[in-house]
Amino acid sequence: MKIPAIVVLANIVFSISISAQEIKVPFDSDQWEMSNAQYSMQRFEGKESLLLQSGFIYLKDVLFLNGTIEVDINFSALRNFPGVAFRIYSVGNYEEFYIRPHQSGNPDANQYTPVFNGLAGWQLYHGSKYATPISYSFNDWHHLKIVVKGKKAAVYFDDMDQPLLEISELMQKTVAGSLGLKTLTNVHFANFQYTPDQTTYQQDVGMVESIEGLVKNWQLSEILADDKFKGKFQLAPADIKDIQWEQFGVQSSGVLNIAQYRQIQEGRSTAIAKLEIESDRKQVKQLDLGYSDYITVYVNNQVLYSGANNFRSRDYRYLGTIGFFDSVYLPLKKGTNQVLIVVREDFGGWGVQARMLDQSGVEIN
């Protein structure tokens, strides 16, 4: 889809000069781009509504940075993910909040996630900072409101006085963009409106969580073919000599979200996260790992471990969310040791995290 070009505001203070007024956009307006959706207009349960059967619609020529987004929503108990996308600044890059009707009453009854390069990272952003329990009533009209202020947002659902979810840090870039609505299957929307806020908000840079022994910086390869390391237990110099590396820091959660920096292509959903460890002697060190979705670990070009942490990989209810669930024991030599973690994505989040609790005698680069 074509997203209007915008100017990226790169400093720590952002503002937009738009009149702070309530703007209502009927669903039969030509402001909506609906070519990537299946939909119909209906009068439903007393309201003129859009039945969005599948897909993603967005507003053309709208630049929303801060303010309020509101819409009425009516959904069934079927498995679905209807929600609002905001600050859509390019194809596949935006913030998103959506509802999980089929998880009514559960801790993950809804979800905030950033979307980077078309990949929603819900497996990387889980827990009370990103979702909250609520029991829904079905086939009723509900009012959803999202208030966006700089790096923070608050989500209101029916109760307009008490937030359902307070998002302490929006993870995408703080830039203006379009507004949109999404669904997997049938949902009704009505009374869409937004109110821009021209207030300037100080942008607090998120501090990395205090996790003992956390690896905070990684070297990341370019995107690679998924079969590049298939069946390779020992890497030859030629396997990695032409790979280009860039260094990136982790997000405040301690996770390196690979999709933030690399875009998946057909047959190419693999990248390598590399560490170099200086050891003052020959020794073994425990490295705790979290990842999504598949990894193979090489130490000094010798395969050490492989694992799967994707959706339903361990049982039919398993979500594949990231956490320090696995450990590897690194056989370090004296001097420089190279640790290569080959990470392949399936869906739901592409990332890696690591910690070494005992760092005596080593330096991680």
Asked if residues 108 and 102 have their Cβ atoms less than 8 Å apart, the reply is no
- Chain position carrying tokens 């003052």: 280
Q: Binning pLDDT at 50, 70 and 90, where does residue 295 land?
A: very high
CB-facing half-sphere around the CA of 329: CA atoms within 13 A: 3
Q: Are strands 67-74 and 187-196 parallel, antiparallel or unpaired?
A: antiparallel
β-bridge pairing 270-279 and 217-221: antiparallel
Residue 216, strand partner residues: none
The rounded mean pLDDT for the chain is 93
Residue 67 in 3-state DSSP? strand
Tell whether the model's pLDDT for residue 19 goes beyond 70.
Answer: no
* For range 258-287, the mean pLDDT: 97
Residue 206's pLDDT band, with cuts at 50, 70 and 90, is confident
Over residues 12-33, the mean pLDDT reads: 73
Instruction: Locate 363 and state its tokens.
Output: 């330096």
**pLDDT of 99 strictly over 90:** yes
pLDDT of residue 209: 82
Tell me what the mean pLDDT of segment 353-357 comes to.
98
- Nearest alpha carbon to residue 184 among 78, 268, 262, 316: 78
Report the percent of the chain where pLDDT is more than 90: 89
The DSSP call for residue 268 is B
pLDDT at 16: 34
Q: How far apart are the first and last CA of the chain?
A: 40
Q: Between these two residues, 200 and 53, which has the higher pLDDT value?
A: 53
User: What band does 124 get if pLDDT is binned at 50, 70 and 90?
Assistant: very high
Distance of CA 268 to the CA centre of its chain: 19
Residues 10-35 have a mean pLDDT of 71
CA distance 258 to 271: 8
Among 267, 191, 257, 190, CA closest to 228: 267
The confidence score (pLDDT) of residue 263 equals 97
Say yes or no to pLDDT of 147 above 70. yes
Residue 293 has pLDDT above 80, yes or no: yes
pLDDT digits (tens, 9 = 90+) for 153-202: 999 999 999 999 999 999 999 999 999 999 999 999 999 999 999 998 88
Confidence of residue 205 (pLDDT cuts 50, 70, 90): low
Residues 6+ apart with CB under 8 A from 314: none
Q: Which of 298, 279, 348 is nearest to 320 (CA)?
A: 348
pLDDT at 222 over 90: yes
- What is the rounded CA–CA span in Å between residue 38 and residue 51? 9
Half-sphere exposure of residue 83: CA atoms within 13 angstroms, side-chain side: 22
**For position 20, what pLDDT does the model report?**
66
The residue among 337, 319, 336 whose CA lies nearest residue 328 is: 337
pTM of the model: 0.90
As a whole number, mean pLDDT of residues 239-256 equals 95
pLDDT given at position 179: 98
Bridge partners, 292 (sequence order):
351
What pLDDT does residue 14 have? 34
Can you give the pLDDT at residue 170? 96
Q: Can the peptide bond before residue 293 be classed as cis, meaning omega within 30 degrees of 0? A: yes
Domains plus CATH for the chain? Answer: 13-202 (2.60.120.560), 217-364 (2.60.120)
Exposure letters 22-42 (e unless 16+ CB within 10 A, then b): ebebebeeeebbbeebebeee
